Amino acid sequence: MSHDNCLFCKIAAGEIPSTKVHEDDDFVAFKDIHPAADTHVLVIPRKHVETLSNCTEGDAPLLGKMMILVARLAEQLGCAYTGGDTGFRTVINTGPGGGQEVYHLHAHILAGPRPWKRM
Ligand code: 5GP
Ligand code: ZN
């Protein structure tokens, strides 16, 4: 399940410190170390999946749960879409062409006043 020398597996296991905002049996969410916006949280599955491109039909429940968790965390973080100009951005970078730097699947949650930094 966990992958040797994977930074995010180590964060999920608590072997590398992070500011966690959520933890359950399947997922961990923590603040990005170089935030690109006032709110910048990463949501990861505990299961080591390298990229979205590595996902198959069998990962559908995991991905579905991950997206619902993103929505719940946005509420917890105070950036859910509740009308007007509220809301947040969700990003999954995939592969070098998508700007992925850490090869453990993760969804970025970004929100707050513009401008945001490049990520
Ligand atoms: P990617 O480019 O792979 O989609 O995003 C990786 C993200 O992980 C980047 O936004 C980067 O700032 C964040 N990151 C890299 N190393 C660490 C770390 O050790 N701790 C935390 N909390 N975030 C990290
Ligand atoms: Zn991993």
Q: Mind listing the pLDDT tens digit of every residue in the chain (119 residues)?
A: 568 899 999 999 999 999 999 999 999 999 999 999 999 999 999 999 999 999 999 999 999 999 999 999 999 999 999 999 999 999 999 999 999 999 999 999 999 999 999 88
**Distance from Cα 108 to the centre of ligand 1, integer Å:** 9
- Give the nearest ligand 1 atom to 101 CA: 3
pLDDT at position 118 is 86
pLDDT at position 3 is 83
Instruction: Name the residue at shortest CA distance from atom 19 of ligand 1.
Output: 33
Indicate the top mutation candidate among 42, 43, 91 to test ligand 1's pocket, ranked by most ligand atoms within 8 A of CB.
42
pLDDT at position 22 is 98
pLDDT at position 64 is 98
The CB of 118 under 6 Å from ligand 1? The reply is no
Ligand lying closest to the C-alpha of residue 36: 1
pLDDT at position 2 is 67
pLDDT at position 1 is 54
- Positive or negative, the CA dihedral 13, 14, 17, 23 is positive
Which residues touch 20 (CB under 8 Å, ≥6 apart)? 28, 29, 30
Kindly report the pTM of this predicted structure: 0.98
Ligand lying closest to the C-alpha of residue 35: 1
Show which residues are catalytic: 106
pLDDT at position 77 is 98
Residue 42 CA to chain centroid, in angstroms? 3
